Amino acid sequence: MKPIKVGLLGLGTVGTGVVRIVEGHHDDLMNQAGSPISIHKILVKDRNKPRSISIDPAKLTEDPLDIVRNPDIDVIVEVMGGIAGTKELILEALERGKHVVTANKDLMALHGPELLAKARDKGCDILYEASVAGGIPIIRTLIEGFSSDRITKIMGIVNGTTNFILTKMSQEGAAYEEVLKEAQALGYAEADPTSDVEGLDAARKMTILATLGFRAHIALEDVDVKGISSVTQEDIQYAKQLGYEVKLLGIADRQDDYVSVSVQPTLVKASHPLAAVGGVFNAVYVHGEAVGETMFYGPGAGEMPTATSVVADLVAVVKNAKLGVNGRQANISYKEKKLKTDEQIASKYFMLLHVEDRAGVLMQIAQVFADYDVSIESVMQPPTPNRQGAELIIISHEATKASMQQVLKAFGNLSSVKAVKSVYRVEG
């Protein structure tokens, strides 16, 4: 059996996990793939850096071209991240007939169609299971497991950092800034947490999932994004009183071939499975016309969970080579993209208003909702003994995004409404 030689771009957390699995599970992988798999060359920033695993120094290089242009290497595994420079390396690898496995969500979200087209043109595979939700095999499930179904909704917690923060805020009553510092100290959040807390990381992952689920190319700019930095302890406690948890959800929805994709803090009914997903765990809920509701749950990041997905893709590449079907992936984005307008996007809404505490105010607010054809499901006025004015918590029945925008604009012109403190989508 001809051994499969792998070039590994990156030896950080995930790269180290890949080496551990390939070397530690050698016999299992050989039986699964039908050929022995070995790490032939590894790209590192510093060859002399101390490492948590023992590696032959002859395998290390600081020049990526030693790997990409090495004729002995069959498969490139890219786990170094980044876009600038990384894209060019992968394109060159494909041009030279090398298969690619990547965990790079940013690259696949922004340049996936181009890379997949190049792979097909060159008869190569490019697989990217680890780019979304770490150890959860959601990408292969969407491509293969749902191939006979029509997916109507994908809804998920796909960023562990924000889920950790919101879980802590909910369970311990801590403030956002306090929990963010703890997440940074634990290594869950970067020194600059913007990508996570403002929803950009989740948006890139939802771009990938929506493209796969709806078979149409969804671009990053098609995703409506709002992060969690404005979520307050007050929001979370009021939500809990009403039987909801606040989660940063990616939501991709399709109706009559029109789609919408968003990332936003959302009130999730406590009885919904997503509400119970805590800490840094991820979960993806998928609804298909035939299968109904399904949910996939597991660790969304980390050395071994993510490396497991990377090596599973590596085994799939070798199996495809044995069958002679490399580069023959189905065209994922074969449908025309039709984005919903604000008049077509509909959901229930939670709204927290600070208003004047006097007779007639609730009637004025109810009239605004009626003017724009938005019906109210429930109203709660919690006691505010030490504050001037009153607070109203309103949950609407399902309403269009356009209608809610008109309601909010009308509130801005209503003297009795002192502030619209929070507005969130409601699911479940």
Tens digit of each residue's pLDDT (9 = 90 or more) over 162-206:
999 999 999 999 999 999 999 999 888 889 999 999 999 999 999
Strands (E), 118-272: 126-127, 151-157, 223-225, 244-255, 258-269
Give the type of residue at 219: A
pLDDT at 301: 84
Predicted confidence (pLDDT) per residue in 281-319, tens digit: 999 999 999 999 999 999 988 889 999 999 999 999 999
Q: For the domain 138-299, what is the CATH superfamily, name and number?
A: Dihydrodipicolinate Reductase; domain 2 (3.30.360.10)
Q: What 3-state class would DSSP assign to 294?
A: strand
If pLDDT is split at 50, 70 and 90, which confidence band does 330 have?
low
- What are the structure tokens assigned to 221, written together? 């700019």
What's the pLDDT tens digit per position in 34-76? Answer: 999 999 999 999 998 999 999 999 999 999 999 999 999 999 9
Of the chain, the percentage scoring pLDDT greater than 90 comes to 91
What CA–CA distance (Å, rounded) separates 60 from 398? 57
> What positions carry a catalytic annotation?
205
Query: What is the 3-state secondary structure of 169-207?
Result: HHHHCCCHHHHHHHHHHCCCCCCCCHHHHCCHHHHHHHH
| Predicted pLDDT at 351 | 97
Q: What is the pLDDT of residues 110-141, one digit of tens each?
A: 999 999 999 999 999 999 999 999 889 999 99
Q: Give the integer Cα–Cα distance in Å for 315 and 29.
A: 7
Look over the chain and give the mean of its residue pLDDT values, rounded to a whole number. Answer: 95
pLDDT score of 384: 78
In the chain, what is the straight-line distance between the N-terminal and C-terminal CA atoms, in Å?
52
**CATH number assigned to the domain covering 4-134+303-323:** 3.40.50.720
Question: What's the mean pLDDT in 14-33?
Answer: 94
Query: Among candidates 406, 422, 301, which has minimal Cα distance to 353?
Result: 422
Please tell me the class of the 346-427 domain. Answer: alpha beta
Model confidence over 371-416: pLDDT tens digits? Answer: 999 999 999 998 877 778 899 999 999 999 999 999 999 999 999 9
- Give pLDDT, residue 388: 86
Residues composing the chain: 428
Q: What is the pLDDT of residue 302?
A: 85
pTM: 0.94
Cα–Cα distance measured from residue 207 to residue 259, given in angstroms and rounded to the nearest whole number: 12
Q: Residue ranges of the domains in the chain?
A: 4-134+303-323, 138-299, 346-427
d(CA 251, CA 259): 10
In this structure, the number of other CB atoms found within 10 A of the CB of residue 108 comes to: 23
Average pLDDT over residues 246-257: 96
CA distances from residue 165 to 169, 189, 281 in whole angstroms, order as listed: 6, 10, 12
